[in-house]
Structure 1
Amino acid sequence: MAFAAGFTMPGGNNGDAPQEGMAILLTNAMFQAFVICNTIAMYTAILVAVCLIWAQLGDLNLVDTALRLALPLLGIVLTMISLAFMAGVYVVVSNLHWLAYVVLILGVLFIFTVLVVFTPLFCKTTSRFRIFRWITYFLFCVEVRASGSHNDD
C-alpha cells in the first residue's frame, strides 16, 4: 500500500515544464507529512518482512528474536500508514473544511485505538519493568476477553 501511495500522490503531478512530474501539492505541510509517514511506513514494512524471513530459518532463538523485533516495527508500520492515509485524504478534501476536520478526528481516534490494541501485544513480554508487563498483560487479557476469542471450557 505504501509503495503504491508513493507513486499516486494526492493532488496529482504537474504536467507543465519546468516542473513536469513534480507533485502539485509539494509545498503543502500535510502533503509533506503524508510523504514522510508513507516513506517511514514503506521502509519499516521492508524491515518487518526481513525479520519474518529470519523467523523462517528454523532456529528457535532466531525465531524469538525476529518476532520480538518485528512486533514493535509492525506497530510503527501500522501507525505510519494510518497517519499517511489520514494526511493524504486531508490534503485532497482540505477545501471542504468540515470534511477535512472529520478526517483528522477519525484518523486520530483510529490511530489511538490501534495503539491501545497493539501496544499490549508487544509490550507484555518485551518490557524490562515487571509492573509494566503485568499492566500490559492485563490489558491484553481484557482485549482477548472483549473479542470473544477466549475459551472458558
Structure 2
Amino acid sequence: MHDFLVPLWHQNASHRADGVILWDYHVICVQRKKESLSSPLVWDLDSSLPFPSSLSSYVSATIRPSFQLFADFQRFFRVVHAPIFLRSFASDRRHMKDSLGKWIAKPPPYEPIVAEDGAVHNLNEYNEIIAARAVNELNRS
C-alpha cells in the first residue's frame, strides 16, 4: 500500500499560522441542491473557514490547486455519494495510534463510526482503492 499525503490549508488541527497540515485522508461533505443555481457548499468539520463555505472559495483557500506541490505530494480525491458513505464507512481510529496503541493525535470528540453492516474499520479499503487507481494512472503517464 502506498502512503499518500495531501496538504490542506486552514485546518484547525494545524499548529501553523497558515493552518496547513498533511492529511493521510480527509473527509468533507459537498452539498449541491438539485433545483438550485447557487454554488455548492463544503462542510469541513476541521476547517477554520466559514462553515459552510462555497465550493469555489474552499477549493481556492484549502486545496490551493495553483500551489506547486513537491513531487512527494499528490492530490487524489475519492467522491462517494453521501447515502453510500453513511451506510458503509467505518473507522475505529486505529490509524490514529502508534504501534504501542498510544494516540498520535487527539481523536475527534464524537464516537467512532460503525458501518450499517457492523464493520468497525474499513478505512484501508477506501485508501487502497485510491492507491490502486492512482498507481495505475501514474504508470500510464
Which category describes the TM-score, using the shorter chain as reference length?
A: under 0.3
Identify, as 1 or 2, the structure richer in strand.
Answer: 2
What TM-score comes out, normalization by structure 1 length? 0.24
Identify, as 1 or 2, the structure richer in helix.
Answer: 1
